[in-house]
Amino acid sequence: MEIAIIGAGNVGSALGKGWAAEGHSIVYGVRDPGAPKLREVLSASHGKARAASVAEAASSARIVVLAVPWPAARDALSAAGDLGGKILVDATNPLRPGLDGLAVGPDTSAAEQIARWAAGASVVKAFNTTGSGNMEDPVFHGEAITMFICGDSEDAKRTVGQLAGDLGFDVVDAGALVAARHLESLALFWVHLAYNMGMGRDFAFKLVRR
């Protein structure tokens, strides 16, 4: 499957490397496709990744992952152009600069705002509730950690769920896109534990069932 990832930072590169290792083709949509810092990201992708402009990347894949800082989301989406008919995976977290709260919500979410900006795209919230290091290695002591996803299109969620499963996550469907309000709050809680409580980044959430 060809996957466009807008942003080749911590999250974009973790997802891209993992999917490339599973045989998917990655096109990173970036502001400077020739930037030296992309060399390590591309060379870690077994010849399955390339870099292009944001517009070219987004137009060449049916699945587009948004992995940019929240304040850049609107610009990145307008650079991507028309995303109608595509699956748009929103990995952003609208963290306030001091990491002490969310800049969006509680009566809406970044994902719902993104869905308004990217009219016609099927938005799925995913890959926002754990650290990027865990996206590269989502197995703790033999147990797959949980990746919660939500969105209004069952087809789009099925596809994104498969992609999360390819990375090794235990995927849990959290419902319609409105549930992104909970997923973004859960991400804030992960950040609180990591930084305010000194737990570091090497922990993750796992849903257990009886």
Ligand X SMILES: NC(=O)c1ccc[n+]([C@@H]2O[C@H](COP(=O)([O-])OP(=O)(O)OC[C@H]3O[C@@H](n4cnc5c(N)ncnc54)[C@H](OP(=O)(O)O)[C@@H]3O)[C@@H](O)[C@H]2O)c1
Is 16 one of the binding residues for ligand X (CB under 6 A)? no
With respect to ligand X, which residue has the nearer C-beta, 76 or 156? 76
Is 11 one of the binding residues for ligand X (CB under 6 A)? yes
HSE toward the beta carbon, residue 210, CA cutoff 13 A: 0
Amino acid at 75: D
Is 70 one of the binding residues for ligand X (CB under 6 A)? yes
Is 169 one of the binding residues for ligand X (CB under 6 A)? no
Q: Which residues pair with 89 in a beta bridge?
A: 65, 124
- Residue 104 in tokens: 């969006």
Q: Which of residues 55, 72, 139, 186 is near ligand X by CB under 6 A? A: 72
What are the helix and strand counts (H, E) for the chain?
Answer: 8, 10
Residue 120: CB minimum distance to ligand X, A: 20
Is 95 one of the binding residues for ligand X (CB under 6 A)? yes
Residue number of the CB atom closest to ligand X: 9
Rounded to 5 degrees, φ, ψ at 38 are -80, -15
The answer to whether the beta carbons of residues 28 and 87 sit under 8 Å apart is no
User: Which residues here bind ligand X, judged by CB under 6 A?
Assistant: 6-12, 30-32, 54, 67-70, 72, 75-76, 79, 91-93, 95, 128, 131-132
